[in-house]
Amino acid sequence: PVPKWALIAVAVAVAVLLLLFLVCVIKCCCSKKKPKKKEKVNLLSVQSSTMASLVQPEMEDLEPSPEDKKRGKLQYSLEYNLRAQEMKIGVKQAADLKAMDSGGTSDPYVIVYLTSDMKKKYETKVYRKTLNPVFNESFTFQVPQAEVPESTLVMQVYDFNRFAKHDIIGEVRLPLASVSLQRAIEQWSDLEAASKVEQEQLGEVCFSLRYVPSTGKLTVVVLEAKKLKRMDSRGLSDPFVKVHLILNRKKWKKRKTSVKKNTLSPYFNEVFVFEVPFNQIQNVDLVISVWDHDKMTKNEQIGKLFLGCRATGNQLRHWSDMLSNPRRPIAQWHSLQAVDVVDKALGLKTHLKLPLHTR
């Protein structure tokens, strides 16, 4: 029979051998994975490595190339007739336009207008499947000499789509103040990305405010307006001004000036006096709106603005100047704003109107 101690010695030896075998296996596995990990780190850290450049490209490779930014160019002419007070704009041709269709072409046409009269726009014919259209069309605008430096010529090149919205390829904007119109001009200009929809210039109005706290009298003097938007087909308007008082977002009192015929720069100098108690002056909004009078159809609003403690910008500053200088008239020019924008800011409670007074 084998002694008990011999059995124990054999068992211990076997256990040691198994432990050594497991250690060797684990060591071999670790030594095989380690070089792969080191190789991966080295590839990412070396900038000159081809693999690294494929996995993580340089920022220059992500930016569009100059070719992608090109939209083409437009040739046009410009001539101003001082005696007739009219501007003749010729759209000659375009070249190297950006392809907007899947076939690698476009169906271009051009829209032309002046920012001084955005209501009047012209457009050329559409030319099918070309990136180099020849238009050779001219358009005439009636522009008083005084308004020329304040206007910008805009020529927008579009791609025509029969069943979808037309895509704009690019535009040329030429401020007329930067151009000498003593002689005719003909030149090429690169198309730029189209800017956001510009805010239409509606005109400006000047009025003075005076408030006397002891008597509660608010005096509004409508002085004049200028650069009003053309509302008639002949390029003029028949403007008049309405003055509204709104109390706690409800219409309260109103007055209006006389109508000035055929002018974009009317002179009124008309005075309106309203009774506004001192304890209500903080709750009052003063709304100034300019209208175009029509005999046969409904009068149209050109633009409006409002002053009061809820106003902002120049309107709030004018109102604050009036309150901080009691008994003293404060006059200031204001730019007219779009009617829907002002109405939204006022948030009138139209279903709870107070009776309108004429005082």
Three-state DSSP at 15 gives helix
- Inter-CA distances, 269 with 135, 325, 358, Å: 50, 21, 19
Average pLDDT over residues 104-114: 91
DSSP summary character for residue 262: S
Indicate if the pLDDT at residue 114 is higher than 80.
Answer: yes
Same domain, 319 and 219: yes
Q: b/e string for 64-75 if b means 16 or more Cβ within 10 A?
A: eeeeeeebbbbb
How confident is the prediction for the chain on average, in pLDDT? 81
Q: Is residue 165 part of a domain?
A: yes
Q: Is residue 30 part of a domain?
A: no
The residue with greater pLDDT, 353 or 142, is 142
Same domain, 108 and 154: yes
Question: What's the pLDDT at 39?
Answer: 43
Band the pLDDT of 85: cuts 50, 70, 90.
confident
Residue after which a domain boundary falls, among 160, 190, 220: 190
Query: What CATH number corresponds to the domain at position 216?
Result: 2.60.40.150
CB-based contact 244:307 (threshold 8 Å): no
Q: Is residue 5 part of a domain?
A: no
Task: Give the integer Cα–Cα distance in Å for 94 and 73.
Answer: 6
Q: Is residue 58 part of a domain?
A: no
- Inter-CA distances, 142 with 82, 87, 294, 357, Å: 11, 6, 22, 42
Question: What's the pLDDT at 163?
Answer: 65
pLDDT in tens, 236-270: 788 999 999 988 878 888 899 999 998 999 999 99
Percent residues over pLDDT 90 in the chain: 39
pLDDT in tens, 180-239: 888 899 999 999 988 765 556 788 999 999 999 999 999 999 999 998 888 876 667 889
Backbone angles phi, psi at 211, to 5 degrees: -130, 130
Same domain, 147 and 89: yes
Same domain, 186 and 236: no
Q: Is residue 310 part of a domain?
A: yes
Three-state DSSP at 260 gives coil
Question: What's the pLDDT at 239?
Answer: 93
Domain interval for residue 218: 204-346
State the total domains in the chain. Answer: 2
Band the pLDDT of 358: cuts 50, 70, 90.
very low
Same domain, 341 and 254: yes
